[in-house]
């Protein structure tokens, strides 16, 4: 497919990391300028797919490819990309709006309306005739009184565009009621239609620029979707119809179905406070957690295979072999005693000295603990407040002080600083940041403060700081807080919530060792040893001499049943 534009200049960017910007802008031009609708959508999708390969963490790219897939009627793929855009940036309003529309439509209809109840234009006199399926002659129209009248629609397809114009593309579902009840329901239905019409008219009156917005673009495509999802109600009155089972198309006759990919499960809130007598083992806390998602986070295949040479396994599994004889830990230790992980903000290129005055004297006469201020307004999507672990944070009876992170916390301060001194520096820095910045405490300070509360064993204050960090951090920095959140939930025994938090971190940074090792440990605690091995090997692909990963691979291989990773 060829396109002609007045001026298109493509510069070779020495660093390919920014090439996706040009691809995204070119895709928007193709969407607007293509002469053949299907071909130019395919070309736009190709450009956007290449952009995603360069930078998979850009919400705008996922959003645009989602729009293209909707216009191509590939709704399952579209839903996945729109969800990815919202996960990467929950404050990206166009993506959130489209995701809500897709979810509402999928809940109410499950299958695309066009294949069940199709609106045809038979003639100028009968522009709105409803038929059961796209090729069916079982059709009906509606009288002014609201009654439904059977009709035969024999339309000449060649003269379709010249003979008449349909009011809208898709007819909403309707169910039959007794004709005598029409008058009783007519007023309520008309009121609803009037309300809907006002909403549609408000959308029509909105000022929309003809230019392609460079921040997310595809305004013309969005307007097409709005027309599909908000049909005109002019001269149309809807009551209810009930079709018999024989009239409903079979499953295999329908086009792509809508799949609700995230089931909404009722959170099991324990009655009464949790106690050690009631929940004696940490693993039993999982009874109060959310079910595992259908799609589990996994590393890339090349990451797994790249780790194989750094810890090769014997061809035959024999517990008494030399390989297994040197095992230093039991499977129970791998499962129960988790290695603490912490992702420093310095790993993301943030210099804490820009926010903390390490030369200032510290007064410990006042309270020195870095308590993060309460969030005034937060996004539950950003802070993962929907997870059961968050709602049970006051009842983490198995969560203990993470003393192993003390050295990591001390490294945030000057050499030979005590824990209290580093904590006071953080407290003072947060107070200064809060006073200077209208958006509140800088995310790096709240993340570092969470580490203090983890050392102290205070999950409530730690999560409060992490929520603040997630709410204010740039999209590509949220993995720092997510790793800590996953660790806390894992230590508390809410492993499914931990896996979800860690999975979000992996989406943001698929090449960070701490994230891979954290997910490996969570899978080991879940006794999903094959998944754990995948992440232990992907850890080795990035840090070849990481002994904790090697030792856990050895233990799982020697003592866990049905645990292997194919090369």
- Note the pLDDT of residue 28: 84
pLDDT level of residue 421 (50, 70, 90 thresholds):
very high
Q: How confident is the model at residue 127 (pLDDT cuts 50, 70, 90)?
A: low
Rounded Cα–Cα distance for residues 473 and 343 (Å): 14
Banded model confidence at residue 366, pLDDT cuts 50, 70, 90: confident
Q: Give the C-alpha separation, 527 to 512, whole Å.
A: 23
Measure the CA–CA gap between 207 and 213, rounded to whole angstroms: 13
67 & 124 share domain = no
Answer yes or no: do 227 and 242 share one domain.
Answer: yes
Q: Do 243 and 143 sit in the same domain of this protein?
A: yes
Residue 119 sits in the same domain as residue 84 = no
Q: Classify residue 387: in a domain, yes or no.
A: no
* Domain-ending residue, one of 69, 87, 110: 110
Query: Is residue 92 situated within a structural domain?
Result: yes
Across 108-117, 161-170, 316-325, the highest mean pLDDT is recorded for: 316-325
pLDDT tens-place string over residues 20-52: 788 888 888 887 765 556 667 888 888 888 888
Residue 391 falls inside a structural domain: no
**Cα three-residue angle 290-104-116, rounded to 5 degrees:** 120
Structural domain includes residue 25? yes
Q: Single out the residue in 95, 110, 125 at which a domain terminates.
A: 110
Which residues, at least 6 apart from 567, have a Cβ–Cβ distance to it below 8 Å?
305, 308
Same domain, 187 and 230: yes
User: Is 468 inside a domain boundary?
Assistant: no
Q: Which of these, 284, 296, 317, lies nearest to 395 by C-alpha position? A: 284
- Strand ordering across the sheet containing 118-120: 118-120, 129-131, 139-142, 148-151
Q: Are residues 134 and 31 in the same domain?
A: no
36-40, 215-219, 229-233, 421-425 — which one is most confidently predicted on average? 421-425
Report whether pLDDT(237) > 80: no
Gap between the Cα atoms of 444 and 345, Å rounded: 6
**Angle, CA of 306, 307 and 312, to the nearest 5°:** 120
Q: Which of 75, 110, 145 is the last residue of a domain?
A: 110
| pLDDT tens-place string over residues 295-348 | 899 999 999 999 999 999 887 776 667 888 888 888 999 998 878 888 888 888
Gap between the Cα atoms of 366 and 213, Å rounded: 52
Token representation of residue 27:
């895709």
Q: Would 247 be classed as within a structural domain? A: yes
Do 103 and 170 have their domain in common? Answer: no
d(CA 155, CA 164): 10
Structure tokens at 32: 């607007």
Q: How many domains does the chain have?
A: 2
Print the domain residue range for 177.
114-253
Mean pLDDT of 382-390: 88
What is the domain-level CATH number for residue 102? 1.25.40.10
Domain shared by 64 and 183, yes or no: no
Residues 100 and 132 in one domain: no
* Pair (198, 226) in one structural domain: yes
Same domain, 130 and 236: yes
Question: Residue 12 pLDDT more than 60?
Answer: no
Residues 70 and 178 in one domain: no
- Element spanning 376, H or E: none
Domain presence at residue 158: yes
Within-domain flag for 155: yes
Q: pLDDT-based confidence at 457, cuts 50/70/90?
A: very high
Please report the pLDDT score of residue 145 as a whole number. 54
Residue predicted with more confidence, 76 or 170: 76
Question: In the structure encoding, which two tokens stand for residue 480, read together?
Answer: 């720092």
Nearest Cα to 361, choosing from 448, 428, 435, 451?
428
Query: CA angle, 404 as apex, 400 and 406 as ends, to 5°?
Result: 105
- Structure tokens given for 298: 């996994």
Q: H-helix or E-strand containing 505?
A: helix 495-508
């Amino acid at each position: 497919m060829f396109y002609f534009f007045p001026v298109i200049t493509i510069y070779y960017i020495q660093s390919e990391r920014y090439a996706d910007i040009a691809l995204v802008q070119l895709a928007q031009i193709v969407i607007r300028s293509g002469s053949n609708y299907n071909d130019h959508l395919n070309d736009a999708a190709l450009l956007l797919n290449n952009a995603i390969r360069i930078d998979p963490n850009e919400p705008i790219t996922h959003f645009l490819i989602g729009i293209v897939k909707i216009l191509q009627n590939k709704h399952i793929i579209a839903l996945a990309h729109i969800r990815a855009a919202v996960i990467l940036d929950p404050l990206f309003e166009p993506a959130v709006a489209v995701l809500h529309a897709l979810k509402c439509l999928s809940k109410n209809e499950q299958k695309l309306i066009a294949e069940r109840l199709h609106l045809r234009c038979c003639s100028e006199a009968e522009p709105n005739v409803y038929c059961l399926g796209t090729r069916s002659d079982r059709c009906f129209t509606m009288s002014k009184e609201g009654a439904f009248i059977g009709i035969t629609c024999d339309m000449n397809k060649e003269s379709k565009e010249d003979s008449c114009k349909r009011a809208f593309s898709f007819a909403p579902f309707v169910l039959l009621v007794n004709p005598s009840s029409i008058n009783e329901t007519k007023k309520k239905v008309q009121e609803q239609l009037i309300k809907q019409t006002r909403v549609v008219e408000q959308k029509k009156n909105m000022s929309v620029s003809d230019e392609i917005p460079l921040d997310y673009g595809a305004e013309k495509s969005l307007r097409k979707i709005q027309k599909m999802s908000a049909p005109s109600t002019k001269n149309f009155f809807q009551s209810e119809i009930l079709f018999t089972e024989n009239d409903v198309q079979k499953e295999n006759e329908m086009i792509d179905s809508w799949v609700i990919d995230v089931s909404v499960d009722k959170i099991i809130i324990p009655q009464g406070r949790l106690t050690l007598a009631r929940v004696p083992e940490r693993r039993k806390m999982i009874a109060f957690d959310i079910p595992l998602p259908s799609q589990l986070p996994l590393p890339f295949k090349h990451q797994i295979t790249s780790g194989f040479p750094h810890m090769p396994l014997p061809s035959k599994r024999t517990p008494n072999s030399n390989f297994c004889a040197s095992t230093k830990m039991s499977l129970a230790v791998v499962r129960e005693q988790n290695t603490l992980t912490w992702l420093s903000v310095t790993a993301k290129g943030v210099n804490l000295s820009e926010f903390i005055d390490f030369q200032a004297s510290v007064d410990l006469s006042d309270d020195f603990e870095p308590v993060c201020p309460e969030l005034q307004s937060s996004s539950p999507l950003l802070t993962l407040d929907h997870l059961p672990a968050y709602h049970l944070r006051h009842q983490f009876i198995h969560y203990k002080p993470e003393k192993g992170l003390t050295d990591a916390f001390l490294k945030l301060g000057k050499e030979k600083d005590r824990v209290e001194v580093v904590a006071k520096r953080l407290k003072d820095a947060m107070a200064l940041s809060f006073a200077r910045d209208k958006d509140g405490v800088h995310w790096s300070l709240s993340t570092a403060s969470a580490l203090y509360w983890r050392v102290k064993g205070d999950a409530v204050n730690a999560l409060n700081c992490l929520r603040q960090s997630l709410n204010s951090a740039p999209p590509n920095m949220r993995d720092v807080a997510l790793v800590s959140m996953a660790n806390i939930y894992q230590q508390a025994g809410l492993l499914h919530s931990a896996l979800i938090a860690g999975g979000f971190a992996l989406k943001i940074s698929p090449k960070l060792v701490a994230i891979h090792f954290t997910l490996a440990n969570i899978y080991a605690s879940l006794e999903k040893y094959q998944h754990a091995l995948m992440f232990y090997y992907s850890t080795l692909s990035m840090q070849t001499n990481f002994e904790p990963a090697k030792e856990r691979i050895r233990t799982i291989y020697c003592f866990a049943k049905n645990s292997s990773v194919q090369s």
